[in-house]
Amino acid sequence: MTSTRPLRFLKGHGTENDFVIVPDPDGTLDLTAADVARLCDRRAGIGGDGVLRVVRTAAHPEVRELAGEAEWFMDYRNSDGSIAEMCGNGTRVFAAYLHHAGLAPYGDVAIATRAGVKRAHLAKDGSVTVAMGRVRLPSEQVTVTVGEHSWPARNVNMGNPHAVAFVEDLAQAGELRSEPLFQPAEVYPSGVNIEFVVDRGPGHVAMRVHERGSGETRSCGTGACAVAVAAARRDGADPAVTGVPATYTVDVLGGSLVISELPDGTVEMTGPAVIVAEGVLDPAWRGDLD
């Protein structure tokens, strides 16, 4: 990321899952994994759980074929610089940025991601609803282990992989400084997001999450969706069977999300999205990345 020009950035969060937003409409910025990790460093950089690069879909070779459906592509990177297919909270923050920048009005907006086009609805109260697409439930059996505790986990795919374990106490997940063990390893060759879940009441659960490439985060939108889907199956509330939506409030460390799975297998997520700051990176700081 070599340049003598200041680099504009913004900072946003969705239920305290926070992101560095980098506008790059023409796709000219060479953002390396090392650049992303430095930007997300909470001591030496701006700090965040990931980076949202804002690129015109037609300008990015990975998703150019989606340009007819969505003008903007969310190039999402985890805080360690690795590329991810999708980020639910990031999609809400991305939509909020488009409105903040005058690129999208209140109402509906389409966003291209590596997991396809996601459609969001921006409400005037600051909440954003994202159509997260159709859930997939791979058949492989998975076990998650932390210390002396092991749990069966539901394998859920929301465009990215999740292992959902229902536990007695969220403290059993430990400090989550490193990725919990999962077996069999070959089920998730590129890693997995792991959710630990407890019940709070009817249609109400709470979770902690270890996100691949980021560690424990304050929230995970796709994780909350995976948790709601797994809870509906556990509770005998599969919408494809009952014919009615299954709706759960999912508490995360940074707030709450409302997740609804519809009878056609698609999932909707509603929650807040906030743009908190914007500024420029000093060219001298950027030079340190080279």
Parallel/antiparallel/unpaired status of strands 142-146 and 127-134:
unpaired
| 93 or 287, which is more confident | 93
Residues 186-226 pLDDT 10s: 999 999 999 999 999 999 999 999 999 899 999 999 999 99
Q: What is the phi-psi region of residue 82: left when phi exceeds 0, alpha when psi lies from -120 to 50, beta otherwise?
A: beta
Q: Indicate which residue of 220, 227, 231, 232 is catalytic.
A: 220
Number of H helices, E strands in the chain: 5, 18
Amino acid identity for residue 269 in this structure: M
Say if residue 243's pLDDT is above 60: yes
Give the mean pLDDT of 276-283. 92
Closest CA to 50 of 24, 3, 88, 6: 88
Residues 57-90 pLDDT 10s: 999 999 999 999 999 999 999 999 999 889 999 9
Residues 49-59 pLDDT 10s: 999 999 999 99
* pLDDT number for residue 7: 86
Q: State yes or no: is 40 an active-site residue.
A: no
pTM: 0.91
Parallel/antiparallel/unpaired status of strands 193-201 and 161-166:
parallel
Say if residue 1's pLDDT is above 70: no
CA 247, CA 29: separation in Å to the nearest integer? 40
* pLDDT number for residue 255: 97
- 222 annotated as ligand-binding: yes
- 212 annotated as ligand-binding: yes
In this prediction, residue 3 has a pLDDT band, given cuts at 50, 70 and 90, of low
Amino acid identity for residue 95 in this structure: A
In this prediction, residue 47 has a pLDDT band, given cuts at 50, 70 and 90, of very high
Q: Indicate which residue of 87, 112, 120, 163 is catalytic.
A: 87
Residue ranges of the chain that CATH labels 3.10.310.10: 7-126+274-287, 142-269
CA trace torsion 114, 247, 237, 200 (10° rounding): 110
| Rounded percentage of the chain residues whose pLDDT exceeds 70 | 97
End-to-end CA distance of the chain: 7
CA 97, CA 278: separation in Å to the nearest integer? 11
Q: Which residues pair with 165 in a beta bridge?
A: 196
Mean pLDDT value across the chain: 94
Say if residue 290's pLDDT is above 60: no
217 CB contacts (<8 Å, ≥6 apart)? 17, 49, 209, 211
Residue with tokens 């919408």: 239
Asked if 87 and 65 touch (Cβ cutoff 8 Å), the reply is no
Pick the CATH number of 7-126+274-287 from 1.10.3720.10, 3.10.310.10, 2.60.120.620, 3.40.50.11860: 3.10.310.10
Q: Read off the tokens for 59.
A: 């300008």
Q: Which CATH class is domain 142-269?
A: alpha beta
| Rounded percentage of the chain residues whose pLDDT exceeds 90 | 91
- 203 annotated as ligand-binding: no
* pLDDT number for residue 225: 97
- 155 annotated as ligand-binding: no
* pLDDT number for residue 4: 59
